[in-house]
Structure 1
Amino acid sequence: MPGYHHDLALALQLADIADAIALPRFGAADLQVTAKPDLTPVSDADLAVESAIRSRLAVDRPDDQVVGEEFGGSAAQVQGRRWIVDPIDGTKNFVRGVPIWATLIALIDGPPGADPVVGVVSAPALARRWWAASGTGAFTRFAGGPERRCRVSGVRSPAHASLSYSEPAEWRSAGRTRQFQALLDACWRTRAYGDFYSYMLLAEGAVDIAAEPELSLWDVAALVPIVIEAGGRFTAIDGQPSGGTTVSALATNGLLHQDIMALLNG
């Protein structure tokens, strides 16, 4: 397996570029927000961040494909190297002044369905960043301090586990209300931290389970290597491999995975 340390270094530079654009626009009085066809918001910061990342990749990785939330592209049937970009994950938070948002950058290298091999999550309003590449471990840094390694928890029972999730309405839309309620009832503590943050807290061992019933590729790709390199497990809700294209997500510390899958598929 090739090493990806040069790609990880580039992804971290891309995150620096994104932070420099997005953070000054957070809370800006002149922030421009419009609605996409699916009625989700998009801000001028989303567009500017993705444009800047694409421009840098065109210079440094001109032969690679790019798939982004705002300007499209398809990785489903593409072979080889493709970068997956969510310029601002948590745009609804961003436009309302909630600091839980991040730029997500991932690299997939292989056939359709291959797992991402590089992931960077940069949340400048939280002064946090997380990153990983295959075989290197997962790391985080807070407020420019020293990097530290991410490790999932050792919790073995749902009755002792902390769950983080997204919106209950999404589970209802997915026809999984009963199963989701069973999961809530089984866990010691439940909180809706939502979006990327659920999975980064899991990678740090602060929560033990994170799950969402419906996601796009750019929502999930950067999260996968960080969770896996932290010692966790990341699959679709039904247990299928994440493959970088999963439309649902279940991440756990690994020890809880079979029990949680049974609850969500019962």
Structure 2
Amino acid sequence: MTDWLSFCRDAVADLEEVLRGLPTRAEREPVLRLGEGGDDTTAIDAAAEDAVVRRLEALGVDLTLVSEELGVRAFGNGGGPTVVVDPIDGSVNAKRGIPFFSLSVAVADGPTMDDVFFGYVYDFGAREEWVAERGRGAFLDGAALHGPGPKDTIEILSLEGTTTEAITAAVPTLRDVARRLRVMGSLALSLCHLAAGRVDAVCCLKPARSIDIAAAQLLVRERGYAIELFEDPPFGRAPLDLGQRSRVVAAGTDALCTQVAAALR
């Protein structure tokens, strides 16, 4: 049986080597091609994904990869677990040297969000390791997440998918919903921060894909908090693929999710 936590830690070590080998924007930013996810594949994206793929190949097991750049790929005979990978979530930050980006890995025993049984997010800036196991809880650096969660009202709302145009359209509708906004640049990490009660809600202003949220959503749900693809519910049935599904909102309660979604509609 694959030890997915050890796999992810080995992948982190590989990606640290990649980052050292591409130390500045000049090396990280060049566009190489168009990725299967629809975004430009830059040098840092390609090098990071290559490192994770080599780790997967070394496992020597049957699995199906869903990844930002490669799309869907069978390893071995295919089938097996579905492994959803975003080697660099927050790639704009990574390219520009802003220390807020992550490795995101989810492992599922079926084709939907409900089937994810292991989630891993590593923050290369803060050096924090976020882990969730279905039915066993959510953890930060090996310690179970507990203590104060998101507030009953939204003091801090983290926005992702944030072009200037998207923020300009959204902010007026959110004035009566949240007291403060944060724009950090990694959806996976923002969802982890919700799981830890550092922020009170998270919303992505563009349609989210499984690679963006599959790992971190398990931390949110293992804490008992709410998350929804409010334009294409229910969340649990969302497929683990590269199709853009819906904007996503997460908060401490279903009612707060509904409040944010209503404002954005």
TM-score between the two structures when normalised by the length of structure 2: 0.79
SS at match of 1:194: coil
1:215 aligns to 2:214 (yes or no): no
C-alpha distance in structure 1 between counterparts of 2:29 and 2:165, whole Å: 31
Asked if structure 1 preserves the Cα contact closer than 8 Å seen for 2:32 and 2:40, the reply is yes
Change (3 A) 1:26 1:91: farther
1:190 aligns to 2:186 (yes or no): no
C-alpha distance in structure 1 between counterparts of 2:34 and 2:7, whole Å: 32
C-alpha distance in structure 2 between counterparts of 1:204 and 1:24, whole Å: 32
| CA RMSD, Structure 1 to Structure 2 (Å) | 3.2
Alignment coverage as a number of residue pairs? 250
List gaps (5 residues or longer) in structure 2. none
SS at match of 1:100: coil
Q: 1:165 aligns with which of 128, 137, 159?
A: 159
Match of 1:134 in 2: 134
List gaps (5 residues or longer) in structure 1. 142-146
- Specify the code of the residue in structure 2 equivalent to 1:149: A
Matches within 5 A, 1:102-113: 102-112=102-112
- Per-residue CA deviation, residues 170-225 of structure 1 (Å, 9 max, x unaligned), is 8749xx946x6323432121121232232121111010100113122211111111
C-alpha distance in structure 1 between counterparts of 2:2 and 2:32, whole Å: 37
C-alpha distance in structure 1 between counterparts of 2:34 and 2:25, whole Å: 24
Change (3 A) 1:229 1:194: same
SS at match of 1:73: strand
C-alpha distance in structure 2 between counterparts of 1:74 and 1:261, whole Å: 34
Asked if structure 1 preserves the Cα contact closer than 8 Å seen for 2:225 and 2:251, the reply is yes
C-alpha distance in structure 2 between counterparts of 1:87 and 1:166, whole Å: 18
Match of 1:68 in 2: 67
Q: 2:218 aligns with which of 201, 207, 225?
A: 225
Q: 1:206 aligns with which of 198, 213, 236?
A: 198
Q: 2:235 aligns with which of 231, 235, 241?
A: 241
Change (3 A) 1:26 1:229: farther
SS at match of 1:105: strand
Asked if structure 2 preserves the Cα contact closer than 8 Å seen for 1:140 and 1:148, the reply is yes
Match of 1:156 in 2: 152
C-alpha distance in structure 2 between counterparts of 1:257 and 1:99, whole Å: 28
Quote the offset at 1:252 in angstroms. Answer: 1.0
SS at match of 2:260: helix
C-alpha distance in structure 2 between counterparts of 1:232 and 1:74, whole Å: 32
SS at match of 2:3: helix
- Specify the code of the residue in structure 1 equivalent to 2:45: D
SS at match of 2:184: coil
- Per-residue CA deviation, residues 67-126 of structure 1 (Å, 9 max, x unaligned), is 111122179xx9752111111111111111111111111112114554422111112232
Match of 1:21 in 2: 18
- Specify the code of the residue in structure 2 equivalent to 1:204: A
Change (3 A) 1:9 1:31: closer
Asked if structure 1 preserves the Cα contact closer than 8 Å seen for 2:121 and 2:189, the reply is no
C-alpha distance in structure 1 between counterparts of 2:135 and 2:228, whole Å: 18
Matches within 5 A, 1:24-63: 24-27=21-24, 30-31=27-28, 33-34=30-31, 36-37=33-34, 40-60=39-59, 62-63=61-62
C-alpha distance in structure 1 between counterparts of 2:132 and 2:87, whole Å: 18
Asked if structure 2 preserves the Cα contact closer than 8 Å seen for 1:163 and 1:210, the reply is yes
Change (3 A) 1:264 1:5: farther
C-alpha distance in structure 2 between counterparts of 1:93 and 1:35, whole Å: 18
